[in-house]
Structure 1
Amino acid sequence: MTKESMDDLVAFVAVARQRSFTRAAAQLGISQPALSAKITALEARLGVRLLTRSTRSVSTTEAGERLYRSISPHFDGIASGLDDLSELRDKPAGNLRITSVEHASQTILLPALAALLPEYPDITVEIVNDYGLVDIVAERFDAGVRLGEQVAQDMIAVRIGPDFKQCVVGAPAYFKRYGKPKTPHELTKHLCIALRLPTSGGVWSWPFEKEGRELKLRPGEQLAFNTITLQLDSALAGLGLGYLPEDVIKDHVAAGRLVHVLKDWSAPMSGYHLYFPSRRQQTAAFSLLISAMGFRGRKRGVG
């Protein structure tokens, strides 16, 4: 096989995996026109259409999917083999790709990386924030970070954060205009700032708990975001009530910028876990990341 053919196959795998010429070109470090030319040349040599392009998306044809499933494991094996060699270096190296949620990335992953990466400049990390439930094997992630109850049972799960509470908060100006809810059911009469879930397309139902009684309420959708940062900013601006982690709002509450209501209904969340397939062989870089997060909890595995 010529070098050009190998390069074209690498380009095809990147596009098929990313489902985007833009993201694949960025990953490969080439221009979109150059990437498109590689795919066109590969399709011409093979005599079949591999990708279906539209203005918004890219998908594999039947032939393209068959080729992808056939060759992508080999490229993964090459990447894994190269990562294994890093074990023989003075300092570990390798690429880590993690799906997480914004809150965990800010409070756990970023502090861990701030301690880790300066000491290990040959480790590269990509974090993709997504509140949907992601198939980390299919999407080629090394690991994921989600709440404990969200992790599939066939995954190895490592607790990396403590339990925390969700809190209903609003700006003083909002409560001056609309009053304070005394029970969760009264939230239906208030402006609530929703969190959009990409997996279902719906919004996150707010969980509440008091004296063993649990309930969930679906907030209205006048204002919805897919990040808690914008939820927080909107609550501070008096646009509605937010339902946010306690550590995110505590300084604003202490300063009087937000008011915490329904305190006795705040729901406990099960803490964040790092999870990965049971068959995944841990590289030195991956093990260092777990250590940097100060893991003190127990590992959950499969029997």
Structure 2
Amino acid sequence: MDLALLRTFLTVHRAGSFTRAAALLGLSQPAVTGQIRTLERQLGRPLFLRQARGVTPTTIGDELAHRAAPHLDALIEIAGSGLTGESGTTGTLHLAGPPEFTSLRALPALTPLTTQGLALRASFFDNAEQTLESLAAGHHDLAIATARPHRGPLTATPLCDEEHVLIAAPRWAARLGHSVLRDGHLVLEQLPVVEVHESLPLVSRYWAAVFDSKPAAAGAVIVPDLRAVLECAAAGAGLAVLPRYLCQGALERGEVVALLDPPVPPLRTYFLVARTGTLALPPVAQAYEWLLRAAVDW
């Protein structure tokens, strides 16, 4: 079996599209389609179901990808290393994830690997679905997402849980007094809200978990960066719901205060995701393990 055909097959399997696979391989779409048809004729079985938007692997296609991917990826890694036999991590790792978590947690944790020859490239996505689609398409080696992938050639491991905290500037907390404990679901009617989106995703999730209700107010400040949300809240713009890791320093310095201390704080799970088979590649495998070890302290 031609290894070039297998490489094209795996790229299509991971990308979910002949068009995206062609772009990744530097080939024309007809060339990719022709190679897949050739492989299907050799095997005597269809490997993909053609759909309006991309392709879906058949059972035979999934089985072939599962069996071939680790070996083909290992051969590509050997060819790329030039059989030097040198130890350590070399190459470039492309990482995708949420901007704040990736900036404050993942990248600092991976930085020591750069002294061993690993180059890091990061891309930020606010949406978990976009993150996973980009990873599946082959644009990145690893991804950190707030949702577990339910389909496609992806392998996910829970990385850590993120605790969410309801915060505001001290003057707002003093104004509320004990009313927040008695009538917590009414807080939004008294305080303006700082959020990352008009739909108030963090506040809505907090309200559902703690108060079993929906927030009743619109955002006073909407800014698509949690670090900016923290700065605005500390300046007195209103209440906000933030990950504890991001606002812990401001809490300790008294720049903001926690308005509530619920018995079971709302949590959000981060997942470390890779394409199936790529964990056989040394740079990906080492970064994967490095992040899992670092996350024990997160």
TM-score (ref. length: structure 2): 0.62
Counterparts of 1:143 and 1:256 in 2: how far apart (Å)? 36
Query: Does the CA-based 8 Å contact 1:204-1:218 persist in structure 2?
Result: no
Counterparts of 1:296 and 1:130 in 2: how far apart (Å)? 22
Indicate how the Cα distance of structure 1 residues 83 and 170 shifts in structure 2: closer, same or farther if over 3 A, else same: same
DSSP 3-state at the match of 1:250: helix
Letter in 1 for 2:195: A
Q: Which residue of 1 aligns with 2:110?
A: 113
Query: Does the CA-based 8 Å contact 1:112-1:293 persist in structure 2?
Result: yes
Counterparts of 2:196 and 2:176 in 1: how far apart (Å)? 21
Q: 2:126 aligns with which of 131, 148, 165?
A: 131
Counterparts of 1:254 and 1:262 in 2: how far apart (Å)? 15
User: C-alpha displacement at 1:82, in angstroms?
Assistant: 5.9
Confirm whether residue 159 of structure 1 aligns to residue 142 of structure 2: no
Q: Which residue of 1 aligns with 2:141?
A: 142
Name stretches of at least 5 consecutive residues in structure 1 with no aligned partner. Answer: 1-64, 298-303
Letter in 1 for 2:122: I
Letter in 1 for 2:281: T
User: C-alpha displacement at 1:273, in angstroms?
Assistant: 1.7
Name stretches of at least 5 consecutive residues in structure 2 with no aligned partner. Answer: 1-16, 28-72
Query: Does the CA-based 8 Å contact 1:160-1:295 persist in structure 2?
Result: no
Query: Does the CA-based 8 Å contact 2:142-2:284 persist in structure 1?
Result: no
Q: 1:73 aligns with which of 11, 15, 25?
A: 25
Confirm whether residue 194 of structure 1 aligns to residue 195 of structure 2: yes
Deviations 1:168-210 (A, max 9, x none): 11111334566663444223312111113xxxx8442422379
Confirm whether residue 98 of structure 1 aligns to residue 99 of structure 2: no
Query: Does the CA-based 8 Å contact 1:99-1:144 persist in structure 2?
Result: yes
Number of equivalenced pairs: 225
Confirm whether residue 277 of structure 1 aligns to residue 275 of structure 2: yes
Query: Does the CA-based 8 Å contact 2:145-2:272 persist in structure 1?
Result: yes
Letter in 2 for 1:264: P
Counterparts of 2:114 and 2:107 in 1: how far apart (Å)? 10
Indicate how the Cα distance of structure 1 residues 225 and 71 shifts in structure 2: closer, same or farther if over 3 A, else same: closer
Structure 2 counterparts to residues 257-268 of structure 1, below 5 A: 257-264=255-262, 267-268=265-266
DSSP 3-state at the match of 2:180: coil
Letter in 2 for 1:222: A
TM-score (ref. length: structure 1): 0.61
DSSP 3-state at the match of 1:127: strand
User: C-alpha displacement at 1:248, in angstroms?
Assistant: 2.2
Indicate how the Cα distance of structure 1 residues 212 and 186 shifts in structure 2: closer, same or farther if over 3 A, else same: closer
Counterparts of 1:68 and 1:294 in 2: how far apart (Å)? 30
Indicate how the Cα distance of structure 1 residues 203 and 247 shifts in structure 2: closer, same or farther if over 3 A, else same: same
Indicate how the Cα distance of structure 1 residues 249 and 70 shifts in structure 2: closer, same or farther if over 3 A, else same: closer
Structure 2 counterparts to residues 1-303 of structure 1, below 5 A: 69-70=21-22, 72-73=24-25, 83-84=77-78, 85-86=80-81, 88-89=83-84, 90=86, 91-118=88-115, 120-121=116-117, 123-133=118-128, 134=130, 135=133, 136-138=135-137, 140-147=139-146, 150-154=147-151, 155-161=154-160, 163-176=161-174, 181-182=180-181, 183-189=183-189, 190-196=191-197, 202-206=199-203, 207-208=205-206, 214-217=212-215, 220-264=218-262, 267-280=265-278, 282-295=280-293
Between the aligned residues of both structures, percent identity stands at: 15
Q: Which stretch of structure 1 is more off in the superposition, 234-243 or 96-105?
A: 96-105
Counterparts of 2:263 and 2:254 in 1: how far apart (Å)? 21
Query: Does the CA-based 8 Å contact 1:172-1:257 persist in structure 2?
Result: yes
Counterparts of 1:285 and 1:115 in 2: how far apart (Å)? 13
DSSP 3-state at the match of 1:263: coil
Deviations 1:147-183 (A, max 9, x none): 3xx121233112332x232011111133456666344
Query: Does the CA-based 8 Å contact 2:162-2:270 persist in structure 1?
Result: no
Query: Does the CA-based 8 Å contact 2:24-2:138 persist in structure 1?
Result: no
Q: Higher helix fraction: Structure 1 or Structure 2?
A: 2
Q: Which stretch of structure 1 is more off in the superposition, 279-288 or 86-95?
A: 86-95
Query: Does the CA-based 8 Å contact 1:170-1:235 persist in structure 2?
Result: yes
